[in-house]
Chain A
């Protein structure tokens, strides 16, 4: 059964995360050593505090790794069906952030957001286009007034806003 297939067990993910923590701690320790983690001529060096932080990360990650291997359950971490749902949200979300601003053709946050909301409403909510247009454009119009005019916080804008004279 495709739907019930688990993507890794809790144990395997415990181990993966603990190893990542271990690597992170090691990087912190390494960088702190590079900067100098001891007592300089004028007091503690830049790496003095982070060095111990890194050490603590490594120690606790090692304990977590041991616990992960010996104690963690073999229950599924996430089912394939659940992961599919998460990807349905995350992939458009990443595309959305990429659409806001990129070196080639940034749409600006307002247009990208309107498209993002429209996609969700169509794909997951199966709404009619009239309702989709009303909600997505309406929401972003409110945000536009709120941020650009009311709060005066400039957000990334694209060609559409430029056409209306907002740079």
Chain B
């Protein structure tokens, strides 16, 4: 087993006191960043990236730098769950699905159980993904190497179809919100032709809309407005997390091994192909809802409904690094920022990294194991600290969150225009939420819009405009077929219900 031997070498690199300290610092910072709505994993890592320049100059420093940044990433993944469950504010787009059941659980006074379930399943998801990275990296790399533009586009299609097929409300509202995301993503300079699209002469629109601004506005400001409307109380659940609750929840968790396994699989799949953690968490939640015996009760506060998205989000977030190290294709926005870091430090991501910089790669992989163990311990012990934040009266916490949102929006591109945009998105988020327009597909379309368009265009170039390219071989055909099935699922399920109804009467 060549991999185990390499991994041991990696542990030798990662297990220095300096690197362990960086892990602890990174995780703690990451949790704080993940908890604060607006300061997310991607821009949290981006903000801290300049601090690693000098570190990476020292011998072995590149490994330390990637350990620090990736641990911020793990911390942010953990931290997103805290605000989702306690505040109903997803700290990160991928913890949106965690709010569906996590927040009701918190309202029922079971926030401790929800948090334990979230952290533990995050850990499990990450562990499965790291095992996958360790042993299947070469195999998966070979598989993904076969992916051309049509395959990529069909994967995007699958993700977005999943939203339509699994939305609770009107599928047309989902499509409208999603397409709006795509349209906003198209704003700015077209990367292929260099033409200006949808800018109408406004120079501020040249760089387009950043999804981080949209997330901060739609989720942060919009949620605050909804809270205010219902009275000046921040509905933060009480977060008592003692060992008894932790152990009781751990006893309950093995019941959901099927969900864990399925969610890990979904997460790893979605992480490897650039689908990312967010769709993975939604897909996994949707699947769990459809397949669980308690599926009907999802949304009212089921532990299983927390396990599914958290496992998948963390599995996807972790496995997103697999294509990043093996192919130089980031699987998530944060992975993209990390990729930028590698380039700045003078490393060339790609298959050669494994042979030329074995220390670096295996040090990183070993740090994934250690970082997630450290992360689990930190979050399980530090949650009471965040509970303290929740007891701060609304008249103080609301303006502070608004200020943090404003700072967060500003730091994305150092632009005041983005802060104004955030306010607009906030009002939009408020109205959309009241009318049941889903926000997540909008944000996701904004994130993936350019890449989806690129893969669509490249596919069209390959086939000279022939749409059958999305069924050209068994791989792409299967993914496209699945997408169409999901897309028309609302119609299909209605049809099935009608047929079943007739049989019932006969």
Contact A101 to B186, CB < 8 A, known contacts A43-B460, A60-B176, A109-B407 = no
Which of B172, B407, B416 is the one whose CB lies under 8 Å from A64?
B172
Q: Which of B447-506 contact A (CB under 8 A)?
A: 453, 456-457, 460-461, 465
Give the number of residues in B that approach A within 8 Å (Cβ atoms).
60
Q: Which of B138-170 contact A (CB under 8 A)?
A: 170
Q: A113 touching B403 by the CB < 8 A rule?
A: yes
Q: B176 touching A21 by the CB < 8 A rule?
A: yes
List the B residue with the shortest CB-CB distance to A121.
B395
Q: B176 touching A96 by the CB < 8 A rule?
A: no
Which of B406, B411, B427 is the one whose CB lies under 8 Å from A97?
B406
Answer whether residue A10 sits at the interface, using C-beta atoms and an 8 A cutoff.
yes
Q: A56 touching B186 by the CB < 8 A rule?
A: no
Q: A31 touching B197 by the CB < 8 A rule?
A: yes
Answer whether residue B229 sits at the interface, using C-beta atoms and an 8 A cutoff.
yes
Q: B396 touching A89 by the CB < 8 A rule?
A: no
Answer whether residue B420 sits at the interface, using C-beta atoms and an 8 A cutoff.
yes
Answer whether residue A158 sits at the interface, using C-beta atoms and an 8 A cutoff.
no
Residues 70-94 of chain A: 1 if any B CB is under 8 Å from the residue's CB, otherwise 0? 0000000110001101101110011
Answer whether residue A35 sits at the interface, using C-beta atoms and an 8 A cutoff.
yes
What is the CA–CA distance of A49 and B445 in the complex, to the nearest angstrom?
Answer: 13
Q: How many A-B residue pairs have CB under 8 A?
A: 166
Q: A86 touching B183 by the CB < 8 A rule?
A: no
Q: A63 touching B393 by the CB < 8 A rule?
A: no
Measured between beta carbons, the chain A residues less than 8 angstroms from B131 are none
Answer whether residue B262 sits at the interface, using C-beta atoms and an 8 A cutoff.
no
List the A residue with the shortest CB-CB distance to B231.
A85
Q: A100 touching B183 by the CB < 8 A rule?
A: no
Contact A13 to B179, CB < 8 A, known contacts A44-B460, A125-B396 = no
Q: A67 touching B170 by the CB < 8 A rule?
A: yes
Which of A13, A57, A152, A154 is the one whose CB lies under 8 Å from B180?
A57
Measured between beta carbons, the chain B residues less than 8 angstroms from A47 are 197
Interface range on chain A (Cβ under 8 Å from partner): 35 or more
Which of B195, B402, B456 is the one whose CB lies under 8 Å from A35?
B195
Closest Cβ–Cβ distance, residue A51 to chain B (whole Å): 10
Q: A53 touching B182 by the CB < 8 A rule?
A: yes
User: Which of B109-117, B250-258, B351-359, B430-438 faces chain A?
Assistant: B430-438
Measured between beta carbons, the chain B residues less than 8 angstroms from A25 are 179, 183
Contact A100 to B416, CB < 8 A, known contacts A77-B434, A93-B402 = yes
Closest Cβ–Cβ distance, residue A103 to chain B (whole Å): 11
What is the CA–CA distance of A126 and B225 in the complex, to the nearest angstrom?
Answer: 20
List the B residue with the shortest CB-CB distance to A18.
B176
Measured between beta carbons, the chain B residues less than 8 angstroms from A24 are 180, 183
Contact A120 to B457, CB < 8 A, known contacts A46-B197, A61-B176 = no
Q: A10 touching B399 by the CB < 8 A rule?
A: no
A–B Cβ pairs within 8 angstroms, 7 of them: A28-B198, A43-B461, A44-B461, A57-B179, A117-B403, A120-B398, A152-B51
Instruction: A31-B200, A35-B195, A46-B190 given; name 5 further pairs at CB < 8 Å.
Output: A24-B180, A46-B197, A49-B457, A109-B407, A121-B396
Residues of A within 8 A of B (CB): 10, 13-14, 17, 21, 24-25, 27-28, 31-32, 35, 39, 43-50, 53-54, 56-57, 60-61, 63-64, 67, 77-78, 82-83, 85-86, 88-90, 93-94, 96-97, 100-101, 109, 113, 116-117, 119-121, 124-125, 127, 135, 139, 143, 147, 151-156
Nearest 10 A/B pairs, CB to CB? A125-B395, A120-B399, A60-B176, A46-B195, A124-B395, A60-B175, A63-B172, A60-B172, A113-B403, A117-B399
